[in-house]
Amino acid sequence: MSWSADRAEAEARMDPAHVAYYAGWAGDGITLRANEEAFRRLRLLPRVLRGAGKLDTGMTLLGCPTAAPVLVAPTAFHRLADPEGERATARAAAATGTIMIVSMASTVGIGDVAAAAPGATLWFQLYIQPDLGFTRSIVGRAEAAGCRALVVTVDAPVRGRRDDDRGFTDLPEGLHCENLRDGDGVRPIVMSPAFGWEHLALLREMTTMPIVIKGVLRPDDARLAVDHGADGIVVSNHGGRQLDTVPATVEVLPGIAQAVGGAVPVLLDGGVRRGTDVVKALALGADAVAVGRPVLWGLAAGGEPGVTRVLSTLRDELEYALTMCGCAGLDDIGPDLVRRPC
């Protein structure tokens, strides 16, 4: 089943307002579409008779082994798709040897996600909260749950304007952002334009987890992130959900990879749908990619087995594409494999 068949199935099963939230985009959806279109425009140039033999797609990222350079991107509210929510996604991640980045806006608390999927490698995504004491306690919960990295999202100084959200504002009865529990209540997520690079040093004091900056689109910002001690970068435009008309992530990737120069791992998300997209991103300088909506559609269409299928299919497609390209492994992927559009 392809991701678009999953989406059709999700549309049949889910509340239309929730489908619209998952699918949602900022403005006119120019960036949303550009992410996928940019991958489609790139062409692969396979090499032949390389005697490559059987290949291995496994690698290690920030000390964490992963079966393929494909991670689960952080996405909010998995219980809108399936009653087990993030528990199901994490079990599927464990079953496929995939690193899952759990959203701060998960509908299962990070401790419960970890307990439900003991074999999973979890990273935790954070929106820094203006109450830094509360931020510290959220980070502490992620650390106590065994998360292996902190992914700090920096492309949301305010919420994206999503005209087509069709009225989705509040979670249904019984669903909450469990990581924001505070005493008897649950605090709202606060976005703030007041954060600066200096906040990285504050986070560094709060945790021993490696810190990854998510939402970088410029080489100079990537360099600043490295200079301020980031351990990794995610080239991301939030799946086209924040500022419309920013470029497709794969278009800005080569410049960012060059600016980072291998100092820290560079990940990319936005529009990755097939194994061939993974090859293209790696060829243009990414160490790994992350997928957002396909995981949500797989979860809605088929629960935990649905997500397992999405993740294992991506890995199979990657292996197939690499074999077809004459690669012996991930190290064999270079820019020569991709022909950019004229």
Ligand X SMILES: CC(C)CC(=O)C(=O)O
Ligand Y SMILES: Cc1cc2nc3c(=O)[nH]c(=O)nc-3n(C[C@H](O)[C@H](O)[C@H](O)COP(=O)(O)O)c2cc1C
Q: Six-digit token pair at 229?
A: 């001690």
φ, ψ of residue 260 to 5 degrees: the values are: -75, -35
Q: Residue 60: name the closest of 230, 292, 232 by CA.
A: 232
Q: Interface with ligand Y by CB under 6 A: which range of 1-9, 237-245, 257-265, 322-330?
A: 237-245
Q: Identify whether 199 is a catalytic site residue.
A: no
**Residue 78 found at the interface with ligand X (CB under 6 A):** no
Say which amino acid occupies 21. Answer: Y
DSSP 96: T
Instruction: Give CA–CA dist 16/11, Å, rounded.
Output: 7
Q: Which residues lie across from 56 on neighbouring strands? A: 329
Question: 100-129 mask for ligand Y (x: CB under 6 A)?
Answer: ---x-x-------------------x----
Instruction: Give CA–CA dist 225/216, Å, rounded.
Output: 9
Under 8 Å between Cβ of 308 and 119: no
**Residue 214 found at the interface with ligand X (CB under 6 A):** no
Binding positions are 21, 74-76, 103, 125, 127, 153, 162, 214, 236, 238, 241, 269-273, 292-293
List alpha helices for the chain, DSSP H. Answer: 3-13, 16-23, 30-41, 86-95, 110-116, 132-144, 198-206, 219-227, 249-260, 275-283, 293-324
* Residue of 291, 311, 314, 318 that binds ligand Y (CB under 6 A): 291
φ, ψ of residue 245 to 5 degrees: the values are: 80, 5
What is the nearest approach in angstroms of ligand X to the Cβ of residue 218?
20
What is the nearest approach in angstroms of ligand X to the Cβ of residue 10?
16
* Residue of 35, 107, 129, 207 that binds ligand Y (CB under 6 A): 35
* Residue of 69, 97, 109, 271 that binds ligand Y (CB under 6 A): 271
**Residue 241 found at the interface with ligand X (CB under 6 A):** yes
Size of the site for ligand Y (CB under 6 A): 24
What is the nearest approach in angstroms of ligand Y to the Cβ of residue 103?
4
Under 8 Å between Cβ of 26 and 161: yes
Indicate the residue among 76 and 260 with the shorter CB distance to ligand X. Answer: 76
Question: 8-27 mask for ligand Y (x: CB under 6 A)?
Answer: -------------xx-----
* Residue of 19, 100, 105, 266 that binds ligand X (CB under 6 A): 105
Indicate the residue among 78 and 241 with the shorter CB distance to ligand X. Answer: 241
Q: Pick from ligand Y, ligand X, none: which does 189 bind, CB < 5 to 8 A by kind?
A: ligand X
What is the nearest approach in angstroms of ligand Y to the Cβ of residue 107?
11
**Residue 76 found at the interface with ligand X (CB under 6 A):** yes
Q: Pick from ligand X, ligand Y, none: which does 291 bind, CB < 5 to 8 A by kind?
A: ligand Y
Binding positions for FMN are 74-76, 103, 125, 153, 214, 236, 269-273, 292-293
Instruction: Give CA–CA dist 106/287, Å, rounded.
Output: 26
Indicate the residue among 53 and 167 with the shorter CB distance to ligand Y. Answer: 167
3-state SS assignment for residue 25: coil
**Residue 189 found at the interface with ligand X (CB under 6 A):** yes
| DSSP sequence for 220-264 | HHHHHHHHTT-SEEEE--GGGTSSTTPPPHHHHHHHHHHHHTTSS
**Residue 74 found at the interface with ligand Y (CB under 6 A):** yes
**Residue 64 found at the interface with ligand X (CB under 6 A):** no
Catalytic residue from among 18, 78, 176, 238: 238
**Residue 69 found at the interface with ligand Y (CB under 6 A):** no
Q: Residue 315: name the closest of 85, 117, 55, 122 by CA.
A: 55
Q: How many C-beta atoms lie closer than 10 Å to residue 296's C-beta?
A: 33
The CB-side HSE value for 57 (13 A sphere, CA atoms) comes to: 25
Residues that bind ligand Y in the complex, under the rule CB under 6 A: 21-22, 35, 73-76, 103, 105, 125, 153, 214, 236, 238-239, 241, 269-272, 291-293, 296
Query: Annotated catalytic sites, by residue?
Result: 238
